[in-house]
């Protein structure tokens, strides 16, 4: 199955990337934007979804500075096949 892992900077940790994006959007005329945070998306095919949180704790995320969320994902339209 396809697993999707969303990784976000932990609340309270300064996120200068999010701040930079937040400041760039009004410059393009977008209003009412706040609380922008930039994280990471990891998708992987796995046999056992229950292994993914363990992977997150050990490698995919750094739990000291990042939160992660694991979900089952629909397969990418190209089937995830390499070109």
Partner 1 sequence: MKFGVVRFPGSCDEVDALLACRRFGEAELLWHKDPDLHGVDAVVIPGGFSYGDYLRAGAIARFAPVMEAVIEFARAGGPVLGICNGFQVLCESGLLPGALLPNRSLRFVCRQVEVVVENPDSPFTRACDSGERLSVPVKHETGRYYAPVVPEEQVVLRYAPGHNPNGSQDDIAGVCSAERNVLGLMPHPEHAVDPLTGSADGGRLFESLALAPPAAAVAPLTGANAPVR
What does residue 79 show for φ and ψ, rounded to 5 degrees?
75, 5
Question: How many residues of this chain interact with partner 1, rule: CB under 8 A?
Answer: 10
Q: How far is the CB of 42 from partner 1 (least distance, A)?
A: 9
Q: Which two tokens stand for residue 30?
A: 């977008």
Residues 13-72 interacting with partner 1 (rule: CB under 8 A): 13-14, 16-17, 20, 59-60, 62, 64-65
Confirm if 2 and 73 have CB atoms less than 8 A apart: yes
Residues that bind partner 1 (CB under 8 A): 13-14, 16-17, 20, 59-60, 62, 64-65
């Amino acid at each position: 199955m396809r697993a999707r892992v969303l990784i976000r900077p932990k609340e309270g940790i300064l996120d200068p990337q999010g701040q930079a994006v937040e400041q760039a959007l009004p410059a393009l005329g977008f209003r009412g934007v706040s609380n922008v945070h930039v994280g990471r998306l990891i998708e992987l095919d796995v046999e056992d979804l229950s292994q993914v949180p363990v992977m997150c704790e050990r490698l995919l995320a750094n739990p000291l500075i990042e939160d992660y969320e694991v979900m089952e994902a629909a397969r990418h339209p190209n089937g995830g096949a390499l070109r």
